[in-house]
Chain A
Amino acid sequence: MQTSEHMLRTGRHGTLHEFGMAFADLKASTRRIGLAWSLAWHDIVSRYRGSILGPFWITLSMGLMVLGMGFLYAEIFKVPIQRYMPFVALGIVFWGVIVGVITEGCDTFVHASGMLSQTSLPMFTFVWRTVLRNLITLAHHMVIVVAVLVWFGFWKVANVPMALLGLLLVLLNVSWASMAVGIASARFRDVPQIVGSIMQFAMFMTPIFWEPGRMSGGRAHALLVLNPFFHMIDGIRAPLMGGQAGSGTYPILALLAVVGWLGVFTVFTLTRRRIVHYL
Chain B
Amino acid sequence: MKGPQVSITVSDLTMRFPVYGVDAKSLKKSLATVTVGGRLGSSLTGATEVTALAGVNIKLKAGDRLGLIGHNGSGKTTLLRALSGAYEPDAGQIEIHGQIASLLDLNLGIDPSATGLDNIRLRGRIAGLTAREIEDKLEEIGEFTGLGPFLAMPLKTYSAGMQARLAFAVATAVDADVLLMDEWIAVGDAQFQKIAHKRLLSLMERAGILVLASHDIDLIRLYCNKVMVMKGGVASPVTSVKNLDDLLADA
Contact = CB atoms under 8 A, between A and B. Distances in A.
A8 interface: yes
A42 interface: yes
Interface stretch (A109-117, A130-138, A143-151): A109-117
Interface string A114-144: 1111111100000000000000000000000
Residue of A2, A6, A49 with most chain B CB atoms under a 10 A cut-off: A2
Contacts of B131: 34, 38
B130 A34 contact: yes
B80 to A, nearest CB: 8
Interface stretch (B111-119, B160-168, B195-203, B222-230): B111-119
A120 B93 CA distance: 16
Given A9-B82, A11-B90, A187-B20, A118 B105 contact: yes
A70 to B, nearest CB: 37
A117 B80 CA distance: 11
B100 A38 contact: no
A1 B127 contact: yes
Nearest to A8: B95
A31 B61 CA distance: 29
B104 interface: yes
Interface stretch (A164-172, A210-218, A271-279): A271-279
Given A118-B84, A277-B18, A5 B92 contact: no
A119 B86 contact: yes
A276 B94 contact: no
Contacts of A39: 122, 125
Contact of A5 (B14, B99, B114, B127): B99
A9 B88 contact: yes
A46 interface: yes
B108 interface: yes
A5 B176 CA distance: 10
Contacts of B114: 42, 45-46, 49
A2 B93 contact: no
B184 interface: no
Given A5-B97, A5-B99, A117 B89 contact: no
Contacts of B217: none
B100 A2 contact: yes
A12 interface: yes
A234 B85 CA distance: 43
A187 B47 CA distance: 12
Contact of B102 (A1, A3, A6): A1
Contact of B128 (A1, A6, A42, A46): A1
Contacts of A12: 90-91
Contacts of A49: 113-114
Residue of A1, A2, A46, A276 with most chain B CB atoms under a 10 A cut-off: A1
B115 to A, nearest CB: 10
B98 interface: yes
Contacts of B82: 9
B81 interface: yes
A10 interface: yes
Contacts of B84: 1-2, 118-120
A76 interface: no
A35 B126 contact: yes
Interface string B1-34: 1000000000000100110100000000000000
Contacts of B14: 11
B125 to A, nearest CB: 5
Contact of B18 (A119, A121, A274): A274
Given A187-B20, A277-B18, A120 B86 contact: yes
B101 A1 contact: yes
B87 A38 contact: no
A11 B86 contact: no
Given A1-B102, A7-B85, A114 B91 contact: no
Contacts of B1: 5
B175 to A, nearest CB: 10
A119 B126 contact: yes
B116 to A, nearest CB: 14
Given A114-B109, A116-B86, A120-B85, A9 B102 contact: no
Contacts of A118: 81, 84, 86, 102, 104-105, 108
Contacts of B17: 277
Contacts of A1: 84, 100-102, 126-128, 174, 176
B94 to A, nearest CB: 4
Interface of B: 1, 14, 17-18, 20, 81-82, 84-102, 104-105, 108-109, 111, 113-114, 118, 121-122, 125-128, 130-131, 174, 176
Given A10-B89, A10-B93, 19 more contacts: A1-B84, A3-B128, A6-B97, A7-B96, A8-B93, A9-B82, A9-B89, A11-B88, A34-B130, A35-B126, A38-B131, A39-B122, A46-B113, A116-B86, A118-B104, A119-B126, A187-B20, A276-B86, A278-B20
